[in-house]
Every structure is written in C-alpha cells, then in structure tokens.
Amino acid sequence: MAKVCRKVRQSLFTKLALVLTVGIIAINAVTFSLYVNQKREHDTTLNRGLIIYARSLAEQVGSPPSKARAEALARQGPMRITLKGAQSWVVGETEKRFPERFLEPRFSIDGIEVLNIHENYRLRVPVDAHATLIFDLFPTQAQRFALKKFGWFSLAATCLVMFLIYCALRHYLRPIQWLTEGASAVRDGELDYRVREKGTGELRELTETFNQMSTRLETLVEGQRELLLGVSHELRTPLTRLKLRLEMLDTTADTAAICTNIRQMEAMITSLLDTAKMHREADGIRRRTTDLTRLITELAEAYREQAPGIIIDVPSYALTLDIDPDKITMALNMLLDNAMKYSKPDSPAVEITLRRQDQGITIVVRDYGIGIPEKSINHLFEPFYRVDESRTRETGGYGLGLHLCRSIVDAHGADIHVESTPDQGTVFRIVFPQ
C-alpha cells in the first residue's frame, strides 16, 4: 500500500495534475478577489441606496427607538434589530447566527455604516452619542437558494474542469506509459517489442527513436546469434574428425588428455548450438499435448540412484499441457543436474513438484545444497555466467545450462524464477500461465 502511494506521489502524471489544479485554483482565487474589490469600489449606487434604506429603517423605529415598532418592522423580513446603549434590546430573528466574523465594511456616510458578507447585511445607525441601532438583514429564502445554487454550480464546474484535465493529461501522457512498458519488455529480453507510435511532437519523436533503437538492438543480437550458430557449426565438424583420429591412435597419457579437452570443447559447442537454435523459435518448439505428470515422473526416476536422492511430488491425475516434451525434458534435466551437482553429500533429497495453482501450472525444483549468493541471482540466466570459477572447475560446466533453460521456458511463453539462500539451498520455479 505504502509502495503504491509513493509511486502515485512520485508519478509525473500526479505532479502535472497537481500543478494544473493548483494553477486553476490560484487563477480563480485571484480573479475572484479582483472582481470583489472592483465591485465594492464601483457599487456606489447600491451603497447609497443601502444608506438611505438604513436611515428609513431607523426612522421607522422612531426616536427614541421603540421596541414595539422595531418588532413590527422585524416581522416584515428575515431581520434582527438590536439597540445598544443605555437601554438595550434585541427583536426579530434573535436565534439565528449572523456571520459576524466574516463581515466586511462596505461603505459609511454620516456615521451610518454598511457591512456585508454573502447577502447578509449589517446596517449600523447611530441614534445619539450613546446609542446605536443595528439592523442585521438575513438573506431571504430565494437568495439563500441562489447562493446554494451558485456554490453547487461552482463545485460541479470545478470537478468537471478537473476531470477534463485528468482525461487530457491521461491522453497526452499515454505515450510515456507505453514507453515504460516497452523499456521493461526490452529489458526482459523481448527485443521485438515495439511501442505504439501515436500523436505528434516530442513524445512521438521519442517513441520513434525508441523503436529504431530496439530494431537496431534486435538486428545486432540476431546477428550475433547467427554468427555464434555459424561458428559453432563450422567448428564441430573438424573437431569431431580430430577426435576420431586421436581415438584411433595409441592411447598414451598425452592423447588421453587431448581427447578429454576435445570432448569438453565438443560439449561446449553442442551447448552453444542448442542455445542458438532455441532462439530461433520456429526451430525450437514443437508443441503437442503432453501429460506432465508422467513426463516428470519418468525423467525424475532416472535420478533415484544419484546422491542425495529425489522426492517426486506430482498430482495423482494426468496434468496435460501443450508443450514441446523434448525441450521441457531438456530444461528440467538441466535444473535437476544442477540440483544434484550443487547438493552437499549430507543434504536432504532434491524435490521436484508439479501443481496446478492460481497463477498457472507450476513445476518446482528444490535442493538443499550450497545455494547461490544474492549478487549472482540476477546474472544466473546470462550465457557463460558461472557463480565462481573454483566451483565450476570442480563441477565442470560452461554457464550455458540455465541460459538454455530460460530460452526453452521463454519460447513456451512461461516464466522461470529463482530463489536461493547460500548454504541452505535453491528453488527454481517454472510457471506456465493458463
């Protein structure tokens, strides 16, 4: 929740919306106060009329002021009449609250003062040196209604304007969201992802440049793969010939050592070729409906005799999925080989689990071996990445297994995740979304 709030607060969209809203409110406030000031200065006719009205009201109350006459007068409208001085009384709307705090002086002639706020008027008329008559005029029902109507109308207009700003900003900033999605896709290896090119101006230019950059990147990477495929292919044939020749020679210590090196080179080239081929998706994947329960049981059975052993946890029914069984077998074998290879002699058995879950069909390979340091986790699927050389010298890998494994999983439209704790073990999770 806190993360979402921080994201919303930091988003460019929120900031622009905020700046525009504050701008609109500020412009409205300045315009309104200018208008009110201007109106106050120029409303001389109305102010003179109010002074005459105040005088006439005071005359009707009489001199000295009569409470009975004031009562009769107050009955004519929503009004309160107060006498302040040696004698004091209040008549009329005695219960109603008058917005005294907000009253603003409007005009004054011959000691008669007019104060007002939102259709509430206070007329102060001096009776003599010690007494003052105060007439508080409340807005009538119709005026109140007009005021309320004005308030609601302003609120609705403000909401409408803000909604329109929101829609406009969303519309104009959409390319930024598309660009962010595009950048994430390219970061995750989807080099053929292209961002929608819409609109005009700088954002359009940025989108076009981004797409050109992705195309260039894709061409470069594709070229590299083709080169790798070509070179590996070309290297394999003479190497195989050399190996056969050497095997036919007398097996001295030297030729045995050369043979071992050549075999290693051959294994490496085969891995390279498999990896490169897998990237050509059409070549790589031949889907057919496959019973995963059976596939996993059969391939895992082969590890029964190996230390530290294996626990197979699959559903009792056939869980079927459209996959390339050979490629998935290859990927799972690589994970199981690693799990066995990196288990310690006294580690608990490796586990392979198959489940149908909310997020999709999940295969988990868990070991309780040496684990992987946190800094290596993000690089694990990169080609030729090995956690550390000394480890690899013992286990003899080229750092291509997991890269190939991810290529296979990607080609199936599935995801692979890894979690690991050094000295406690590692979990690889493959999820086929449904």
Tell me the closest approach of the beta carbon of residue 332 to ligand ADP, in angstroms. 13
- The residue within the footprint of ligand ADP, chosen from 303, 342, 368, 432 (CB under 6 A), is 342
CB within 8 A of 401, min separation 6: which ones?
271, 334, 337, 338
For residue 25, the number of C-alpha atoms closer than 13 Å in the C-beta half-sphere is 9
401 interacts with ligand ADP by CB under 6 A: yes
x/- binding map, residues 356-375, to ligand ADP, per CB under 6 A? -----------x-xxxx---
348 interacts with ligand ADP by CB under 6 A: no
Q: Which of 193, 342 has the CB closer to ligand ADP?
A: 342
CA distance linking residue 268 with residue 264, whole number of Å: 6
331 interacts with ligand ADP by CB under 6 A: no
Position of minimal CB gap to ligand ADP: 397
Strand ranges, E, within 330-414:
350-357, 360-367
Give the Cβ contact number of residue 128 at 10 Å.
11
Tell me the closest approach of the beta carbon of residue 258 to ligand ADP, in angstroms. 23
Q: Which of 162, 268 has the CB closer to ligand ADP?
A: 268
Residue 66 DSSP one-character state: P
397 interacts with ligand ADP by CB under 6 A: yes
# binding residues, ligand ADP (CB under 6 A): 23
CA distance linking residue 118 with residue 137, whole number of Å: 11
- The residue within the footprint of ligand ADP, chosen from 299, 331, 380, 409 (CB under 6 A), is 380
Tell me the closest approach of the beta carbon of residue 402 to ligand ADP, in angstroms. 3
398 interacts with ligand ADP by CB under 6 A: yes
Give the Cβ contact number of residue 421 at 10 Å.
13
392 interacts with ligand ADP by CB under 6 A: yes
Give the Cβ contact number of residue 206 at 10 Å.
14
426 interacts with ligand ADP by CB under 6 A: yes
Alpha carbon distances (Å) from 219 to 42, 92, 184, 224, 232: 74, 89, 19, 9, 20
State the residue for tokens 């819409």.
198
Distance of alpha carbon 109 from the chain centroid: 64
74 interacts with ligand ADP by CB under 6 A: no
Q: Which of 65, 369 has the CB closer to ligand ADP?
A: 369
Q: Which of 209, 392 has the CB closer to ligand ADP?
A: 392
For residue 380, the number of C-alpha atoms closer than 13 Å in the C-beta half-sphere is 21
| Positions in the binding site for ligand ADP (CB under 6 A) | 334, 338-339, 342, 367, 369-372, 380, 385-387, 391-392, 397-403, 426
